[in-house]
Amino acid sequence: MSSSTLLLVLDLVGIAVFALSGGLVGVEKKLDIFGVLAIAATSALGGGIIRDVLLGLAPPATFTDARYLFVPLVCGVFVFYVHPAVARLHKPLIVLDAAGLGLFAVAGAKKALDAGLNAPASVGIGMLTAIGGGVLRDLLVSEIPTVLHREIYATAAVAGAIVVVVGDSLDLNSTAIVVVGAIVTFAIRVISKWRGWSAPRPA
């Protein structure tokens, strides 16, 4: 498998996982089948769309490759009909979601650097790419986004994006820094979830 094929597969895996977890939220909220598909697609594609709109890359990549639309719709239909089975996959889904988080964070930061953004802005875009879909998902079901008040999630995405931005400024091999960045995000997310860590709250 070539490097770009690998990246595409990883990207679609991230999209699929975000679509499955988004679809489950839609099922919990008793949405109808259109609602479940819409939440699945928004969760999976929202971060990338926000990234591309902010970078001025229109239309967003999501709308130029039909696979990006079909994967979340298939996942949404799957969740709609077999949601108890998907919900039982709770732990594997968290691990896969952490992988998606890492992939989206580093891909977003890399794309921002390539578009000429400065270092802090590229970290911001990487983070928004990773958490954007989940934030839109929570807004659509009228809840305060989970990422704002629970667990270590956005912080893990920020860490991976920082790896990419710092590695880039040191002229390190770009494949290496993307891989290391994704692993850093993944590890922080999985370990913090496993140990029950959460970010500090106001006194």
Residues lying near a second copy in the complex (CB under 8 A): 26-27, 29-36, 38-39, 49, 53-56, 58-60, 62-66, 69-70, 80-81, 83, 112, 115, 117-121, 124-125, 135, 139-145, 147-150, 154-155, 198-203
> Closest CB to a second copy among 57 and 176?
57
> Closest CB to a second copy among 2 and 84?
84
Task: Tell me the C-alpha distance between 108 and 110, whole Å.
Answer: 5
Q: Report the SS3 class of residue 62.
A: helix
Element of type H or E holding 196: none
> Closest CB to a second copy among 64 and 169?
64
Q: Residue for token digits 């629970």?
A: 150
- Minimum Å gap between C-beta 173 and a second copy is 26
- Minimum Å gap between C-beta 78 and a second copy is 12
- Minimum Å gap between C-beta 190 and a second copy is 18
- Minimum Å gap between C-beta 50 and a second copy is 10
> Closest CB to a second copy among 5 and 200?
200
> Closest CB to a second copy among 93 and 179?
93
Other Cβ atoms within 10 Å of 81 Cβ, number: 11
Could you write out the DSSP letters of every residue in 138-186? HHHTT---GGGTSSSSHHHHHHHHHHHHHHHHTT--HHHHHHHHHHHHH
Helix and strand counts by DSSP (H, E) for the chain: 7, 0
